[in-house]
Amino acid sequence: MFETLTPAQPDKILALIDLFREDPRTRKVDLGIGVYKDAAGRTPVFGAIREAERRLLADQESKSYLGPVGDVGFTRAIVKLLFGPSADTSRIRACQTPGGMGALRTLLQLLHRAKPEATIWTPQPSWPGHAGLIAATGLATRSYAYFDAETHDVRFDAMIASLKTAAPGDIVLLHGCCHNPTGADLDLAQWGELADVLTDRALLPFIDIAYQGLGEGLEQDAAGLRSVFAQVPEMVVAASCSKNFGVYRDRVGAAVIVGRTSGQSEIAAAQLLGAARSLYSMPPDHGAAAVRIVLSDAGLRGDWEAELEGMRRRMVSLRLGFAEALQRQSNSTHFAFVARQRGMFSRIGATADQVYRLRKEHAIYLVEDGRINVAGLPEQRLDEVARAFVTVLGKPPA
Ligand SMILES: Cc1ncc(COP(=O)(O)O)c(C=O)c1O
C-alpha cells in the first residue's frame, strides 16, 4: 500500500520550530512561527482563560456530545464580537469549529457544494494555509493583486481591477485585519469601495479573521467586516480564537454564514453542519467553553480585553522601535513601513537566500518569504537585530 507514496513536502513554517530549538546559539532570535510572544519570549495563557478553565473544571457536569454545532453560547458571543453587540443577527448562523482552519475548511466545502463551478480569489500573497485548504475542496482558485513589494502598501486600484474580472458568483477571500504575511490592511474607505464592487459584481465575500484585537483594537479590526455586512446580501466568515484568546492548541474557531434571507441561512447552516459531520464530526469543547465563559462574564471580559490590548500595544511599540533602529542602522527611511503596518507580521523584503544567511550568520529565524513575526523581536536588542538585517539585505537608498 504505502510504497505508492512519495515523501510529503515538510511545512516550512513548522520546520523552523525544530531548526530554532536545535540551534545552540544563545542570542538566537525567533521571528518565524505566528504565535504571540511576551518580552520573555513566552506565549502565555491569558489570565482570564485560566480563570475560566478553573470554573469550567469546577462546574462542568457532563462531557456528553454537543453535536457538530458545538457550544451555542460560544458562537452567539463570537457573532457579537465580530458583527457588534447591536447587529441584526436574523440572517446570521454560526457553528463552532476546530480553529480558524476548521472554519475555513467547512465553509469551503459548503461553497463547493453550493457552487462547484465557482472560482475562489485569494490575495497575492496570502497565508500559505489557504492554498492547501482550497485544493482539498476542489474549488478553482485565482489570485488578485494585493501587495506592492516596492511600497509595502496595498495595491488597491490593481486589487479592484483584478476583482472586476471575476465572474458573478465567484468567491473573494479577504483577510479581516492584520493581513498575513504582509501586515498591510485596507482602510475603512477602501473596505466601503470594495463592498460596492462585491455587490455590483455579485461576488461572495469570504472573510478570514484570525487577529481581531491585535491590529488597531477589537472594534476597529472588525470595522471592515461590519461595513461589508452592512452592504452585501450574502457573505461568510471564518473566525479564529487561537491568537486573540491564546488558545492555539485547544482549536477554537467559528464558521459564520450570512444568507440573503433567514430561510436561506438556515438551509446553508444545516448543510454546513453536514460538512462538519463528515470532516471531523464535532469540534472539541474545552477551549470554546472557556472563551464563552470569558465573554459572558463582565469581570473576565474586562481582564481579557486589557490583556489583549497590552499585547497589541507591545507589538505597536516593537514596530516603532524596530523601524527606528532600522533607520539608524541604514540611514534610510526605507523601513518606515514596519511602523505603519499592523498585526503580528510584516514582509521585510528579504529573498530566500538572505533569509538563509540571516539564520546561518546571525541566528535570526524568519519564514522563507521574508515574513517576520514582530512579537518575536527582542525589545532590548533592536539595534543589534536591525544591524544584522541591514548587513544581509544591503543598505537601501537614503
Ligand atoms: C490568516 C489566518 N487564517 C487562519 C489561521 C488559522 O488559525 P487556527 O490556528 O485557529 O486554525 C491563521 C493562523 O495562523 C491565519 O494566519
Hey, what CATH class is 10-44+301-393 in?
A: alpha beta
Q: Is 180 in the pocket of ligand 1 (CB under 6 A)?
A: yes
Pocket of ligand 1, candidates 180, 245, 279, 371: which has the most ligand atoms within 8 Å of its Cβ, to mutate? 180
* Segment 219-243 mean pLDDT: 98
Per-residue pLDDT of 269-282, as tens digits, reads 999 999 999 999 99
> How many Å apart are CA 98 and CA 288, to the nearest integer?
9
49-296 CATH = 3.40.640.10
Query: Grid cell 518575536 — which residue?
Result: 376
Q: Is 242 in the pocket of ligand 1 (CB under 6 A)?
A: yes
From the number of C-beta atoms within 10 Å of its C-beta (0-12, 13-18, 19+), residue 24 rates as exposed
Which three cell numbers mark 239? 473566525
> How many Å apart are CA 230 and CA 258, to the nearest integer?
11
Q: Is 100 in the pocket of ligand 1 (CB under 6 A)?
A: yes
The overall average pLDDT reported for the chain is 96
Q: What is the pLDDT of residue 10?
A: 80
Three-class SS state of 35? coil
Distance 384 CA to ligand 1 centre (A): 31
Per-residue pLDDT of 10-52, as tens digits, reads 887 888 889 999 999 999 999 998 899 999 999 999 999 999 9
Q: Is 34 in the pocket of ligand 1 (CB under 6 A)?
A: yes
Question: Whose Cα sits closest to atom 14 in ligand 1?
Answer: 34
* Segment 190-215 mean pLDDT: 98
Question: Whose Cα sits closest to atom 7 in ligand 1?
Answer: 100
Q: Is 244 in the pocket of ligand 1 (CB under 6 A)?
A: no
- pLDDT greater than 90 at residue 148: yes
- Which positions are catalytic? 127, 208, 210, 243
Reference 212, options 242, 177, 245; nearest CA is: 177
Answer whether 177's CB lies under 8 Å from 185's CB. Answer: yes
The number of beta carbons lying within 10 Å of the beta carbon of residue 339 is 19
Answer whether 78's CB lies under 8 Å from 254's CB. Answer: yes
Q: Domain residues of the chain, as ranges?
A: 10-44+301-393, 49-296
Q: What is the pLDDT of residue 395?
A: 80
Per-residue pLDDT of 55-87, as tens digits, reads 999 999 999 999 999 999 999 999 999 999 999
Q: Give percent of the chain above pLDDT 90.
A: 95
* Segment 332-336 mean pLDDT: 94
- pLDDT greater than 90 at residue 398: no
Q: What is the pLDDT of residue 9?
A: 82
| Confidence grade of residue 390 (pLDDT, cut at 50, 70, 90) | very high
Pocket of ligand 1, candidates 126, 209, 212, 242: which has the most ligand atoms within 8 Å of its Cβ, to mutate? 242
- pLDDT greater than 90 at residue 397: no
Q: What is the pLDDT of residue 97?
A: 98
